[in-house]
Amino acid sequence: MSDTYEPSAVPGLTKRSGMISLDLPSGTVPTVPGGPADHHITVVYLGRDIGDEEYANACARAQAAAAEVAGPLSGTVSGIDSFEPSAGSDGKVPAFAPVVLPGIEILRTALEDLSASEHRDHHPHITLAYLDEGDPLPDPVPPTLVTFTCLTVHRGADAASFPLGPVSTGSAGR
């Protein structure tokens, strides 16, 4: 998992921007020159200026949501596609690799009320680059199996991770 979230590589983000995400280990998918290096699946974008109270609330909510899934989530990243430019992408074309990840809908449903995104539909993906209109798309990502073991809340350089799956309380009677 990436230890640092680089908001400067993403249009419209600041040092206090926040998200709840499933983070890929570095090198899992190819990095596109000029594109973000912190590959992740955004479950919920929290906003551009997340205060301490909002961050603490997002952490508590993410921890509860992570405990709702049965355990690690596994799926596949593959291909290439793009979204239309928007205000959130500063008019750039987001190029992405689609993700099929059974179980992500549990996390999204539990956290979607925290979303500050202008986009209401959730399409699991990994953003590879922000392009000018008319630029060619990067090469497709070859089919890549991925497994996520934790859910992470980011605010700029701050990050708190929570294991996916029920919380073990230990053995009773010992």
Range of the domain at 16: 7-163
Q: Is residue 1 part of a domain?
A: no
Q: Is residue 171 part of a domain?
A: no
CA-based nearest residue to 128, from 17, 43, 2, 41:
41
pTM given for the model: 0.85
Q: Is residue 156 part of a domain?
A: yes
Q: Span 126-153, mean pLDDT?
A: 96
Q: Is residue 23 part of a domain?
A: yes
Tell me the pLDDT tens digit for each residue of 6-43: 444 455 456 778 999 999 999 999 999 989 988 999 99
Least confident piece of the model among 34-38, 135-139, 158-162, 168-172: 168-172
Q: Is residue 173 part of a domain?
A: no
| Mean of per-residue pLDDT scores for the chain | 87
Per-residue DSSP letters for 132-154?
Answer: -TTPPPPPPEEEEEEEE-EEEEE
CA-based nearest residue to 79, from 10, 25, 33, 30:
30
Under DSSP, the state recorded for 113 is G
Residue 48: predicted pLDDT: 87
CATH number for the domain spanning 95: value is: 3.90.1140.10
Q: 9 - beta bridge partners? A: none
Q: Is residue 100 part of a domain?
A: yes
Q: Span 139-165, mean pLDDT?
A: 96
Q: Span 139-163, mean pLDDT?
A: 96
Q: Is residue 168 part of a domain?
A: no
- Bigger pLDDT: 51 or 85? 51
Tell me the pLDDT tens digit for each residue of 70-110: 999 999 999 999 998 877 788 899 999 999 999 999 999 99
Number of domains the chain is built from: 1
Residue 5: predicted pLDDT: 40
Q: Is residue 170 part of a domain?
A: no
* Contact partners, residue 43, CB within 8 Å, separation at least 6: 19, 20, 21, 22, 104, 107, 108, 111, 151
CA distance 117 to 19: 10
Q: Which two tokens stand for residue 81?
A: 């596609």
